[in-house]
């Protein structure tokens, strides 16, 4: 368990501002935030590489705020893996064992087997691919059986195909070794897939903590909403409210949304582009909006197509190229933009 | 056209340095080879040359002992006045050599700040310790700077990784930082040694005797003229350059 | 603990350099201020110091003229033997100073390879040209190397972009490459100048007279001892350091 | 018009091997290839920054192979824009005018207006954003009215949002100024959107030249096919062929494809993951395959979901998260994988 209490620290261009956070044992906890939000600084503070200006850090109930890193008893893997270039893979892995005076040949071969690096033991780090380096770095960090693993952007240096298997590997390690994992990233997809809980950090401040569902469906403010991909922001007024189903007026357009608000409230409605489907026919229902409009712009983005639609309000939809071709989507074409009331997130 | 003119100027620069040295060396070998052999057989000449190498070696060792830790602190920590400290460490590079000699003599001479109290135990003037101190003074900045660059080139994240694996700071230094900056330290040591054995101005003021190579060359030049000092100069440069070639 | 020991060694290094110089300077000012004033008022002392600065300035100009183009060629082109050329250019840094003097005298002396034919027009021995040549020899590598680094730091794509905009090579050099490496060239020039005016060993062999600052200090030291040469040393270093401070 | 004849050049790790190519006047021509294929080297050879080992380059019929760059009379914009950092934006743009002795105040203000950088003229390059730097670099290149514009990965240094507007800008410039544009990239989407014609370069060799349709629908070999996104490669045998409609047997599975082949031919069938739709119900038709199968793996990738299906053959499909949620796609679920016969590309 990691407890962080009112942690503040300035360093170069980064600053953390009175941050409190509690990470439970066994959790896979992801800290998500844009580049420059101070995420790595927070991780380095927890590992003890810097001392905070104020605040406390407790690991398993014991205060370690001003202890040197070797007393923090956690494993740390940097984004670039930081393997020692002058040592073979084997020596790299043994380094932690030598420092902690653990003498066990079995540990080394066991962790090498787990991480599928047995064939790499005599190689040197600079000759390894990114994915191999990461597995070696994990082996080096895990060979001494730490309880807590800190990961600094563990996937961002990998190519997309290796990322998939690395995600799988991290999930497996977390489950099989019953590790507490603290993983930082700027990639919302990564956070969504991996996390038990997510904390959003922006400009050195903790903005929201919650399960992936809470974060991605119910962002607490518009800054978080736009960071987690609600690209459509509609300003409107509630004209009826009935057991969580709201009718909202935005300009001349009306749509349904689920949420809590009073009649007359001015609200912001957030809607993800991928939650808008396009159709040639209307299919209005009590839980599904279907707004008539006209395509204004079309951008092909690989397998996806971004379509801008004018339905009185301007919407931004993301659909597959297949369906865009099936419907002959191009500027000027009339379409219905459809989205569920439950896809709309309401903030007052 | 620009490239041609510039290449020509490079050639001039190259020839200036190359001809100056090779003219002396080959002139000696072709015109007066017996003189070179005689100089090489002369005990006091060889003693002076070896004495140069030895004193330079001692100065380099001391530089390593002082300069490497200093470079580590300068590479890893920020503190108020750091820029001033770095500037002061660089000053010996620009101090005129005889000025350095005078300054060292005021401090290490028999009535000096350090030389005075130490007089009963160790003598600097006209003795090996003085020569080493003079060499140390002019060559220390080279070692401190290349040590600092070497330590800076080691990613602090490697040190952090080692610490989180359970290594205390001193083990991190000896197992991670030092091996990874070994090349810089080696090159720095070679430069320091080269600077030490090339020094004349500072050494000659604090210790004319016992003579190091450069002093002997000067002494012969003043007493007997160019033809008497040239064979020693050729010998000294041949010894020096061949040691460099071996180290590289 | 490691940090503490290392900081202590940094302090020792710092004090060694700082105390040596400040002890001389403040010793002179506190114990014998009138001597300093008298030296400053002495025409031959000031002439020697100014002569040092002037000869160093000429050597730096020549270095720029030769070293900057040479650095450009070394930064931009690969050719067979490039490593050898670079090594030869670095040799003056490691040549013992009096050896450099002897070598220069063999070439530029009245019976030398270059000095001989030029004898009717220009004299090197015991004259300004000889002093400048000696300073040039020992300081050229500094300028050539920092020019090379400066030019290397300019992205060749900027030069390519300029060429595709219609600029011939020489305009690219003067409008793009040179301004972007100006800082390196300036720092290189300052270092070259510093190296030039600090030289004693090479200069004293080719030209004892007319006296430059370091030679005068040596001359007074030999003739009248430490107390006579110290004020000149203090003056020379104060002048030198204040010029550096102004340039920075 | 740019004609390249049998061009060869080795340089560092790159090599071009007897490459011939003809770019018509007014074309938007994209050279597409993986990183390290030698694309930038080719562009630099055309611009005259290097000389080739052999071969010729003609610009508008005139041989310029060994001419210095200033005689090639074309505009070149590097990936990092290569603005002169010691000159203001104005001086940067004027540089080409000064070199070519063009004195015209109108040109400068006209090009600044066109590229919307009038407000930036007194700024210095290092203070500009990526998109602004690009517009300045284009202004600098275009102010002297060149006929040919060479672009080295013009979009890769921009963030996704700026990329969209940069694409629009480049299209507009190409049309309005009647420029011949030669654009190199490793991004297939970019090539597809921008190009009139595309050349594929791999390992220093020209592999295919054609319109985007030809390149992306009819790759000439399996290397190109997999580079342009045909991730599903199925090995099979033709069991019937009727007027361009083939029936193919792959293991125990049968499917239709359009293409030219003889009965009995062993063929490779290529299929893009985004061309596979998933459905709960079969909807076989003469032009649409519908293979029954079972989901084996699901990976959420932002707005998209990658689904692996076992239908006897293993297929890799890419669908929106919305439809994955609507169909409750998860490992073990039975689905129909549907794709048009015309989406399958056949190579013998």
Task: Show contacts of D193-196: CB within 8 Å, 24+ apart.
Answer: D193/A299, D193/A300, D193/D167, D194/D28, D194/D30, D194/D167, D194/D170, D195/D28, D195/D29, D195/D30, D195/D32, D196/D27, D196/D28, D196/D29
Using 50, 70 and 90 to split pLDDT, how confident is the model at B163? Answer: very high
Distance CA B183, CA B244 (A): 15
Tell me the per-residue pLDDT of C78-129, one tens digit each, with 9 for 90 and over: 899 999 999 999 999 889 999 999 999 999 988 888 887 888 888 888 899 9
Instruction: State residue A5 phi and psi, 5-degree precision.
Output: -125, 115
Half-sphere exposure of D37 (CA within 13 A, CB side): 21
pLDDT in tens, A55-73: 999 999 999 999 988 888 8
User: If you average pLDDT over residues C3-18, what whole number do you get?
Assistant: 92
- A303, D304: Cβ pair inside 8 Å? yes
- For A303, the closest of D277, D300, D318 (CB atoms) is D318
Q: What percent of chain D has pLDDT over 90?
A: 37
pLDDT tens sequence across C19-71: 999 999 998 999 888 888 888 888 989 999 999 999 999 999 999 999 999 99
Q: Residue A160's pLDDT band (boundaries 50, 70, 90)?
A: low
B-interface mutation test, from C126, C201, C211, C227, most B Cβ less than 10 A away:
C201
Residue to substitute from D75, D84, D134, interface C, most C β-carbons within 10 A: D84
Can you give the pLDDT at residue D52?
93
Per-range mean pLDDT, top range of B50-59, D60-69, D149-158: B50-59
3-state secondary structure of C62: helix
Instruction: Give the C-alpha separation, B189 to D270, whole Å.
Output: 62
**pLDDT tens, A217-240?**
888 888 888 888 788 888 889 998
pLDDT in tens, B88-131: 999 998 899 999 999 999 899 888 888 878 888 888 888 999 99
pLDDT-based confidence at B172, cuts 50/70/90? very high
Beta bridge partners of A59: A2, A62
Quote the mean pLDDT of chain B: 91
Per-residue pLDDT at D287: 66
Mean predicted confidence (pLDDT) in A195-214: 92
Listed residue (D272, D301, D76, D81) closest to D189, CA to CA: D272
Averaged pLDDT, C11-18: 93
Per-residue pLDDT band at A2 (split at 50, 70, 90)? very high
Q: Give the distance, in angstroms, between the CA of residue B139 and the centroid of all CA atoms in the same chain.
A: 5
What pLDDT, on the 0 to 100 scale, is given for residue D32? 92
| Cβ separation A302–D193 shorter than 8 A | no
**Contact residues, chain B, for C24 at CB < 8 Å:** 102-103, 106-107
Across the interface, of D188, D274, D300, the residue whose CB is closest to A192 is D300
- Cβ contacts (< 8 Å) between C173 and chain B: which residues? 2
- Within 10 angstroms of residue B84's Cβ, the number of other Cβ atoms is 11
d(CA C235, CA D4): 69
- Give the pLDDT mean for B214-223: 93
What is the pLDDT, as a whole number, of residue A193?
82
Q: In the numeric block, which tokens belong to residue D104?
A: 């015209």
Percent of chain B predicted with pLDDT > 70: 100
Q: Sketch out chain A's domains with CATH numbers.
A: 2-225 (3.40.50.300), 230-347 (2.40.50.100)
Are D91 and D108 within 8 A, CB to CB?
Answer: no
Taking residues B160-169, report their average pLDDT. 91
Residue D271 has pLDDT above 80, yes or no: yes
pLDDT (0 to 100) of residue A326: 80
Within 8 A by CB and 6+ apart from B8, the residues are none
Over range B212-236, report the average pLDDT: 91
The confidence score (pLDDT) of residue A344 equals 87
Chain D interface with A: residues with Cβ < 8 Å: 164, 188-189, 192-193, 229, 272-275, 277, 299-304, 318-322
Confidence check: pLDDT of A159 > 80: no
Give ∠ CA C34-C40-C42 in degrees, rounded to 5. 100
pLDDT for res A289: 86
pLDDT tens, residue by residue, C145-155: 999 999 999 99
**Separation of first and last alpha carbons in chain D:** 35
**3 state SS of A264:** coil
Instruction: Please report, to the nearest 10 degrees, the dihedral formed by the alpha carbons of residues A175, A177, A181, A183 taken in order.
Output: -80
The Cα–Cα gap between D277 and C167 comes to 56
How many Å lie between the alpha carbon of C152 and the closest alpha carbon of chain B? 16
d(C-alpha D131, C-alpha D115), whole Å: 11
Classified as helix, coil or strand, A244 is coil
Q: Report the pLDDT value the prediction gives residue A288, as an integer from 0 to 100.
A: 79
Q: Which residue from A minimizes the CA distance to D275?
A: A322
pLDDT at site B177: 95
The verdict on a CB contact (< 8 Å) between A321 and D274 is yes
What pLDDT is attached to residue A284?
64
- Whether the bond between A159 and the residue before it is cis, its omega within 30 degrees of 0, is no
How near does any CA of chain D get to the CA of A144, in Å? 32
- Whether residues A82 and B160 touch (CB distance < 8 A) is answered with yes
Handedness of CA B95, B97, B102, B103 (dihedral sign): positive
Supply the pLDDT for residue D160: 65
In a 13 Å sphere around the CA of B189, the CA atoms on its Cβ side amount to 17
pLDDT tens digits for range B24-80: 999 899 988 888 888 888 898 999 999 999 999 999 999 999 999 999 999 999 899
Judged against a pLDDT cut of 90, whether residue C196 lies above it is answered with yes
pLDDT tens digits for range C201-220: 999 999 998 999 899 999 99
Identify all chain D residues contacting A302, using CB atoms and an 8 Å cutoff.
Answer: 188-189, 229, 274
Question: Which chain A residues touch D272 with a CB distance below 8 Å?
Answer: 303
**Of D146, D96, D86, D141, nearest to D115 (Cα)?**
D141
> What's the average model confidence in pLDDT over A101-121?
88
List CB contacts (< 8 A) between C188 and chain B: none
Asked if residues B108 and B206 have their Cβ atoms less than 8 Å apart, the reply is: yes
Distance in Å, alpha carbon of B73 to nearest chain C alpha carbon: 6
A252-263 exposure pattern, b = at least 16 Cβ within 10 A, e = fewer: ebebbbbbebee
Please answer whether residues B236 and B49 qualify as being in contact, where contact means their C-beta atoms are separated by less than 8 angstroms: yes
C-alpha torsion B131→B134→B138→B144, nearest 10: 90
Structure tokens at A346: 């309401």
Which value, to the nearest 10 degrees, does the dihedral of the CA atoms of residues B128, B134, B137, B138 take?
A: -130
Question: Is B167 in Cβ contact with A144 (below 8 Å)?
Answer: no
CA distance linking residue A146 with residue A72, whole number of Å? 10
Residues D35-50 have a mean pLDDT of: 88
Which residues of chain D from 35 to 54 reach within 8 Å of chain C, CB to CB? 44, 47-49
Closest CA to A144 of B177, B164, B172: B164
- The DSSP H or E segment spanning B233 is helix B226-247
From residue A293, how far is each of A12, A290, A305, A334, B14 by CA, in Å?
50, 10, 17, 6, 77
Query: In a 3-state reduction of DSSP, which class is residue D75?
Result: strand
pLDDT at D217: 81
Yes or no, beta carbons of D84 and C164 under 8 Å apart: no
pLDDT of residue C237: 92
Is the ipTM, as predicted for this complex, more than 0.95?
no
Question: How do strand A54-59 and strand A2-11 relate by DSSP bridges?
Answer: antiparallel
Q: Using CB atoms, list chains with 3+ pairs below 8 Å to chain A.
A: B, D
The pLDDT value recorded for residue B243 is 87
pLDDT in tens, D244-254: 888 999 888 88
- pLDDT tens per residue across span C61-90: 999 999 999 999 999 998 999 999 999 999
Tell me, what's the pLDDT at A29? 96
Q: What is the mean pLDDT of chain D?
A: 88
Contact assignment for C103 to B24 by CB distance below 8 Å: yes
Mean pLDDT of the region A124-151: 91
């Amino acid at each position: 368990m990691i407890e962080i209490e009112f942690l503040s620290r300035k360093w170069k261009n980064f600053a953390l501002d009175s941050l409190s956070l509690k990470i439970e044992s066994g959790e896979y906890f992801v800290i998500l935030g844009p580049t420059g939000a101070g995420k790595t600084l927070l991780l380095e503070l927890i590992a003890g590489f810097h001392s905070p200006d104020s605040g406390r850090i407790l690991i398993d109930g014991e205060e370690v705020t001003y202890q040197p890193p070797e007393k923090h008893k956690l494993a740390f893997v940097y984004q670039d893996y930081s393997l020692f270039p002058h040592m073979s893979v084997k020596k790299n892995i043994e380094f932690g064992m030598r420092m902690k005076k653990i003498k066990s040949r079995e540990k080394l071969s066991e962790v090498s087997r787990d991480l599928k690096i047995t064939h790499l033991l005599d190689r040197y780090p600079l000759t390894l691919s990114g994915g191999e380096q990461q597995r070696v770095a994990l082996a080096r960090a895990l060979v001494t059986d730490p309880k807590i693993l800190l990961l600094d952007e563990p996937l961002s240096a990998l190519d997309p195909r290796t990322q998939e298997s690395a995600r799988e590997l991290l999930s497996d390690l977390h489950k099989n070794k019953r590790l507490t994992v603290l993983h930082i990233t700027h990639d919302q997809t990564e956070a969504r897939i991996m996390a038990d809980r997510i904390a959003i950090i922006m400009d050195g401040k903790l903005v929201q903590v919650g399960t992936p569902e809470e974060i991605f469906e119910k962002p607490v403010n518009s800054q978080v909403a736009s960071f987690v991909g609600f690209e459509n922001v509609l300003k409107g007024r509630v004209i009826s409210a009935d057991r969580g189903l709201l009718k909202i007026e935005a300009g001349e357009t009306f749509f349904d949304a689920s949420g809590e608000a009073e009649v007359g409230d001015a609200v912001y409605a957030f809607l993800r582009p991928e939650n808008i489907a396009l159709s040639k026919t209307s299919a209005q229902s009590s839980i599904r909006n279907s707004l008539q409009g006209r395509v204004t712009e079309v951008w092909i983005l690989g397998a996806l197509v971004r379509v801008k639609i004018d339905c009185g309000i301007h919407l931004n939809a993301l659909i597959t190229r297949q369906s865009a071709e099936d419907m002959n989507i191009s500027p000027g074409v009339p379409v219905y933009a459809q989205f569920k009331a439950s896809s709309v997130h309401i903030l007052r | 056209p620009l490239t041609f003119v510039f290449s020509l100027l490079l050639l001039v620069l190259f020839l200036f340095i190359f001809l100056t040295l090779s003219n002396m060396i080959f002139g000696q070998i072709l015109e007066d080879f017996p003189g070179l052999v005689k100089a090489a057989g002369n005990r006091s000449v060889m003693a002076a040359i070896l004495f140069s190498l030895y004193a330079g070696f001692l100065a380099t060792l001391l530089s390593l002992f002082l300069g490497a830790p200093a470079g580590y602190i300068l590479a890893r920590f920020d503190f108020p006045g750091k820029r001033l400290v770095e500037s002061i460490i660089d000053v010996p590079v620009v101090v005129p050599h005889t000025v350095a000699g005078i300054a060292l003599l005021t401090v290490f001479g028999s009535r000096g700040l350090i030389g005075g109290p130490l007089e009963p135990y160790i003598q600097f003037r006209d003795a090996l310790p003085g020569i080493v101190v003079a060499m140390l003074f002019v060559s220390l900045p080279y070692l401190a700077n290349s040590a600092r660059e070497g330590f800076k080139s080691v990613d602090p994240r490697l040190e952090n990784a080692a610490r989180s694996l359970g290594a205390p700071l001193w083990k991190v230094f000896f197992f991670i930082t030092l091996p990874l900056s070994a090349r810089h330290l080696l090159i720095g040591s070679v430069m320091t040694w080269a600077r030490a054995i090339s020094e004349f101005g500072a050494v000659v003021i604090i210790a004319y005797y016992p003579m190091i190579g450069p002093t002997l060359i000067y002494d012969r030049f003043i007493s007997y003229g160019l033809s008497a000092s040239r064979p020693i100069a050729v010998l000294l440069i041949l010894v020096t350059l061949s040691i460099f070639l071996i180290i590289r």
